[in-house]
Chain A
Amino acid sequence: MSLTPASDIVGKKPGRGLSGLLLVAIPVFLVCWMVIWPILSAIWRTVWIRNDGGTGSSFSLETYQFFFSDQYSLNNLYVTLWTTAVCAALLLLICIPIALYLRFSTGKLAAYVQGLAIFPMFVPSIILSYALIRVLGPNGTVDLLLNAVSLPKIRSPYLTPWGPVIGLVWDNIPLTVLILVSGLGSVSNQSIEAARDVGAGRIATFWYIILPRISNSILVAISFTVLGLFSAFTLPYVLGPAAPEMMGPFMQRTFRDLNDPVMAITQAVIAFGFCIVFGLFYVRSVAKNRAP
């Protein structure tokens, strides 16, 4: 099939450029005003602080100095990093086997497993929080069942750092599975059969053939997790402990309850800083896949 080169340029007339720009103007303006400008403004406002007397402004890193010298803030940052690392590890541990199974299986059972793995995408995190409290919380269903077979109660993860971990892993399973399955789709059956043919076992095939091919997908999945966890609010707010708290609830409390927007955006900029590598990687891999 040959597509004439012309078909890409059909209807190209002077003046089209302007109408195109006009059609995209409003969404682009919104992105500039509500994404780019707030980020630049946040950085600007946290390094260019108004003097105490209100007489002028000067360059200062005092809000950052405060954050990194304040034990409470550091604990919050630490618990966020800890949650991120644990969630990323758990997600890969859970989702890679599921994705592998889905890639190499067909039939009703595989369809059922896939449906279940994707299902949490259709459960809003607020409902999930509530459900987990009912199941794992004090006097929850797990306690009921343990009690019924005369076992002692569990130490409930509710209101401990493990609460958000469970919720966030649950919530992130669908996207991680989808990303990994999509990545595994690029591993051809023949390349695996060829590896088995030259004598590679299951483990060796996975390690030397499959893993290198899906490393990019794994990185995308990790990027997603990192970006998602640094901005997670609902699950840690509802399921997590009051202190230390994750960055999401911390920012929210600083902004609304402590009424300190400058400190809140300082925390936001610090969160940006920790995610910048993952954000850029994500944008790059999406851009590579998608040309306008």
Chain B
Amino acid sequence: MAVLDIKDVSKVFSTTVAVDRFNLTVGDGELVCLLGPSGSGKSTLLRMVGGFETPSAGVVAIDGEDVTRVPPEKRPTGMVFQSHALWTHMNVFKNLAFGLKLRRLPADEIKRRVDAVLELVGLGGFGHRATNQLSGGQQQRVALARSLVLEPKILLLDEPFASLDQHLRERLREEVRDIQQRLGITTLFVTHGQDEALSMADRIVVMRDGKIEQVAPPDFLYRQPQTPFVASFIGTMNLIEGVVSGGQFSRPGLKLPLPIADGPATVAVRPEALAIVKSGEPDSARIHRITDYGAHAIVDLELPDGFRLKATVPDAREWSGVQAATLAPRAFAAYRENVVAYRS
């Protein structure tokens, strides 16, 4: 059963289309990531689910009920903001209790629920603290607790870890995922970091210019990107433009059999799928630099026309002193007009 149903939703600001005919259904207990560069409309979409923006067109339904024009205070959603947005004039307990008080719950019930949620986010006993006495990670946990304490049907997270440092971000990522799975709460998560999306999401929605590029589980997204944009946005990808003629893709320095109709095409190869062979031919790729990461090494290659590629090799030492190499992709995909035309 779909908890969240977004149908043909568009949002137009005075001059720009932020979200363009967007469709998505989110199932019960699912964690869906909205992933995209800034300006791709992901935050706007999240805010429309939360009720902070009204769609220009389309319908947002929660549990089958149309909430498109319902104000945020009447929606069963809980939002965690990027800057945590804690109320600095209230202590931690009051921040959490505010929403419960508005619902006129008895005081002992409020206390019980607040304490339980603080325990859940690992901040048991922090109720009396002022918000500015907390570290960045603790503040974000309080913000999460503030949303969870109301037991919303849908949890909305708007780049909640963006202001934290790398180490803390990774830890909180796991904690949030654990809590989400323990509570089985339906979650919509906005991020521009692919690591975050890949490590947390059940499904990822890649957005670009207000439109969906691809919706897929993380592993699928990495292995079978449907568009060159997705291919380049998730992980590292060599996107090589060239021409197909007579079943052969060609570009100076690279020739590949590609059984599609004649015309321009883009070949996408992951560095780890791009095998290279030492070569003395003048028309091969020149080795520009080798970066040794110990467990593997990245070779930067330059095609005769100046185009740069990356390839992964197991051992840097084998390549010291080598000037040129020929390219032999083990697996690749080809795109034409923004869709997959061939996958090996």
Contacts and interface: CB of A to CB of B under 8 A. Distances in A.
* A and B pair up: yes
Interface of A: 1-2, 4-6, 9-10
Nearest to B48: A6
Contact of A10 (B14, B18, B53, B163): B53
A6 B162 contact: no
Contact of A1 (B11, B52, B83): B83
A145 to B, nearest CB: 53
Given A10-B52, A10-B53, A5 B13 contact: yes
B162 A1 contact: yes
Contacts of B43: 2, 4, 6
B53 A1 contact: no
Contacts of B162: 1
Contact of A6 (B18, B82, B163): B18
Nearest to A11: B52
Interface string B44-65: 1001000011000000000000
Nearest to B41: A4
Contacts of B47: 4, 6, 10
B236 interface: no
Contacts of B181: none
A5 B52 contact: no
B38 interface: yes
A9 B82 contact: no
Dominant secondary structure of chain B at its interface with chain A = loop
A281 B214 CA distance: 56
Contacts of A2: 38, 43
A5 B82 CA distance: 15
Contacts of A9: 13-14
Max count, chain B CB within 10 A of own CB: residue among A2, A4, A10: A4
A10 B47 CA distance: 10
Given A1-B82, A1-B83, A1-B162, A6 B44 contact: yes
Contacts of A6: 11, 13, 18, 43-44, 47, 52-53
Interface in B20-57: 38, 43-44, 47, 52-53
B70 to A, nearest CB: 14
A22 to B, nearest CB: 22
A67 B114 CA distance: 77
Contacts of B13: 5-6, 9
Interface string B77-99: 00000110000000000000000
B341 to A, nearest CB: 35
A132 B268 CA distance: 85
22 contacts: A1-B82, A1-B83, A1-B162, A1-B163, A2-B38, A4-B44, A4-B47, A5-B13, A5-B16, A5-B18, A6-B11, A6-B13, A6-B18, A6-B43, A6-B44, A6-B47, A6-B52, A6-B53, A9-B14, A10-B47, A10-B52, A10-B53
B47 to A, nearest CB: 6
A6 B82 CA distance: 15
Interface centre among B18, B47, B53, B82 (most CB of A within 10 A): B53
Contacts of A5: 13, 16, 18
In this complex, the member of A2, A6, A9, A10 whose beta carbon has the largest number of chain B beta carbons within 10 angstroms is A6
Contacts of A4: 43-44, 47
Interface in B80-128: 82-83
